[in-house]
Structure 1
Amino acid sequence: VTEKMRSDMVGSMPTANRSTGNTLRTYRTAIAANAEYSNFFTAVQDVAVVQSAINASANRVSGIYEKEVGVRLQMIANNTSIIFFDTNTDGYTNSNGGTMLGQNQSILDNIIGNGNYDLGHVFSTGGGGIASLGSICVSSRKAQGVTGSNSPVGDPFDVDYVAHEMGHQLGCGHTFNAATGSCAGNGSTSTNAEPGSGSTIMAYAGICGVTNDLQNNSNPYFHFVSFEQARVFLTTGSGATCGNLTSVTNTIPTVDAGPDYTIPIATPFVLTGTGSDPDAGANLTYCWEQSNVGGTFGNWNAPSGAN
């Protein structure tokens, strides 16, 4: 759940319409399974069973990313070569995610080859996760992503943790505003746009304590702050230096949030926006999000920073 900070890809917050364009970015993805993860799914060292579990998580995350930021994860053909069963020889320290960052980089480079993947990750049963921020396509760091859970199945694993940690690798920082529970010490004053624990992929839903947990699990979409960080990383940052780009026929929607107003404090208001998409059968979804970044951290009902 920790991000290993870098700031070379972070851009300014959006002041106009933003889009990742009409391009689908496909990254060759290598996901290792340490012995503890593999043995969770099979007692007879069945590689196919473990690979199926990896595929289920990767497909869930890829489906979210493709819809949100135009990114597809494509599993490498020989991913089964990085599935391990022996805790004494797999080369991973299951209880230490930070240590596994370097271990996974070395293991994937040695077995897969550094030039044969764009995004590397490892699944474990250790608690939480850690990832190198903005590391996709960066040869020295692109395998530095770790996700662990004692129950590595379903959305509580795939969305709350895998999509979150790979989100760091996409250049996204934490979006929660709280400083309690697991939120303590892990926030970012440049992206702390969500109240309390937050509820989107890069927030900490359900792990910040009763005073700040807005809900138990994360919603499967990015806050606009995360979207903008990913957009910059994918189009002008390291994420633009590798992967396979495919033009898509989908037309970029247009949106109009209406005129700007300055209103007195505590004034009730209603926001009305419009959007259009010329593609037949297109169903647009809308999300209004406020951003109170910066300042000190606070509880969900006492946000910090200027509006």
Structure 2
Amino acid sequence: MKVLIIYFSQSGNTRKIAHSIAEGSREAASQVDVRSIKKVTYDMLEEYDLIGLGSPIWKADPPNIRRFYRNAPDQKGKHIFSFATHGTMPSFYFPVVLPNLKKAGFTVIGSARWYGNVVMPGMPEPYYTAGHPDDQDCAEAKAFGKEMVLRSQRITAGETDLIPPMPKNDVNQNQAVAIVNMLLEYGNPQGRIIRDKEKCIYPKCTRCMDNCTMDYIDLSCEPQKFGSEGNCCDDNHECAWCFMICPTGAIRLEPDIYEHIKPFIGVRKPLFETILDQAEKDGEFRRLISFDKVGFDTPYCLAHPNKPHFKVPAKPLED
């Protein structure tokens, strides 16, 4: 059996889980390849028996994952499993992603998610889920990878009762309202994203192009394209990753980042805490730092003021 594990990752959480899944898959499959979603074409899928698709959770699915299943040609029953990493509110992801993968012609054979640290300009540093994914998470991902290969083989052999039902959308009301309100925001809640061409060192640096979840950035064309508006970005997905990873300060927020994070200083997140308390009771969440250690007084960009605010982990060459 040949397996292709496709991932999108920004801070490195999902990439770490993807490679752990691949490690486990290799115990039961003849070939396992791992690729960033930017390097995957639909023609490539034809070469594999089983696909894994993973990303961080952005309310529901990131735009590039959405494009993957919306634009996919009929997959004629090809087996796929889904995985994700997330902070405190993961419940919208699988009820959105899995039915859409099925609609694209995939046979969805499983799904799993793991907690991961959250890196956003105004979020606490350290965050509630700091330390994840850890060794235990990676061991679970490894076991999941092997399980998916074995399940796919058994389904192919005729055990179709192993195909799981589509997930129920059981998001609690407060969480649903919070996510819907975020998606209904006009413009980017973190601020309008502006690029200063004088400070930009393209083509020496292509980090913003390589990591934009919306593929809004293309500095290789003329005129150059930056953001949802062509010369700036004001998308309501609440992404400011290009700002976070720019090494020269060429990308900034309006209003200024420090104006943006002022309202967050010292503010606890009761909804997040309630959700995590329940997840801990249900055995889904392992608390690696106590709530009193969460950095409510130090939003991420205040804790990491130097440029870049976040250093993108290097990818393995084969990805």
TM-score (ref. length: structure 2)? 0.24
More helix by share: 2
TM-score (ref. length: structure 1)? 0.24
